[in-house]
């Protein structure tokens, strides 16, 4: 299957984000001399090391960290969910808004991570992915008229995926809350548009 067909299959924004994550992991692997597990110094340099952000002024790290992963399984699972959920959300709100949800949610989760110990080193697209999931859940809830059910689903999603050891629950929480807020906004717009088409009034 050609590259163009992958863009068509998964959505141009979703697959572009996938390629960026894979490219960054390739660089990590080369620097670490290990494609399966990334070395600590590489994660401190390319991921988010709270001490460096707070004391050295490395404020780019909360942004870059959402494209950095700690090992082959980490990126494998995250990229699978990116392709599955990203394609769905991109089909609903379009490529530009999908990228916006990814970036804003990922950044929110990483900034919230700064509340943890200065020695914490974190990396991964999980915050951004929770944002995508939160947006999908709230859009479905708003359009379907079941916001309470959507909120419950989001809560269960957070609990199932955030209570394991070694998981950055704050990044998950920050990304999820921001994604839910954006999903609520987009859901309202979609619902108004559907109502307008159904009953013939503007929005």
Domains and CATH numbers, the chain: 3-199 (1.20.1540.10)
* 55/192 Cα distance (integer angstroms): 47
Give, as one character, the DSSP assignment of residue 54: I
Burial of 80 (0-12, 13-18, 19+ CB in 10 A): exposed
Instruction: Give residue 187's pLDDT.
Output: 97
Q: According to the model, what pLDDT value does residue 203 have?
A: 43
- For the chain, which residues score pLDDT lower than 70? 1, 200-203
pTM: 0.94
Q: Is residue 105 among the annotated active site residues?
A: no
Predicted pLDDT at 166 = 82
Q: CA-CA distance, 121 to 113, in Å (whole number)? A: 9
In the annotation, is 172 catalytic? yes
**Strands, E assignment, 37-151:** 48-49, 121-122
Which is the catalytic residue, given 29, 105, 122, 126? 126
The pLDDT tens digits for 112-161 are: 999 999 999 999 999 999 999 999 999 999 999 999 999 999 999 999 88
What per-residue confidence (pLDDT) applies to 3? 83
Catalytic residue among 29, 74, 122, 172: 172
Q: What is the pLDDT of residue 1?
A: 58
pLDDT for 117 equals 96
């Amino acid at each position: 299957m050609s590259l163009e067909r992958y863009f068509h299959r998964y959505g141009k924004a979703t697959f572009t984000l996938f390629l960026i994550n894979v490219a960054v992991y390739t660089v990590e692997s080369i620097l670490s001399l290990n494609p399966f597990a990334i070395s600590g110094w590489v994660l401190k340099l390319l991921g988010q090391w709270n001490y460096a952000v707070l004391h050295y002024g490395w404020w780019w790290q909360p942004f870059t960290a959402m494209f950095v992963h700690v090992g082959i399984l980490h990126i494998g699972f995250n990229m699978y969910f990116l392709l599955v959920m990203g394609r769905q959300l991109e089909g609903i709100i379009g490529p530009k808004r999908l990228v916006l949800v990814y970036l804003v949610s990922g950044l929110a989760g990483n900034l919230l991570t700064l509340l943890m110990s200065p020695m914490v080193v974190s990396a991964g697209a999980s915050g951004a992915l929770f944002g995508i999931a939160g947006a999908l859940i709230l859009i479905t809830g708003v359009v379907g008229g079941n916001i309470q059910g959507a909120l419950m689903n989001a809560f269960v999603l957070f609990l199932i995926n955030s209570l394991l050891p070694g998981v950055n629950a704050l990044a998950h929480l920050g990304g999820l809350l921001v994604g839910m807020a954006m999903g609520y906004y987009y859901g309202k717009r979609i619902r108004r548009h559907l109502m307008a088409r159904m009953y013939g009034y503007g929005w």
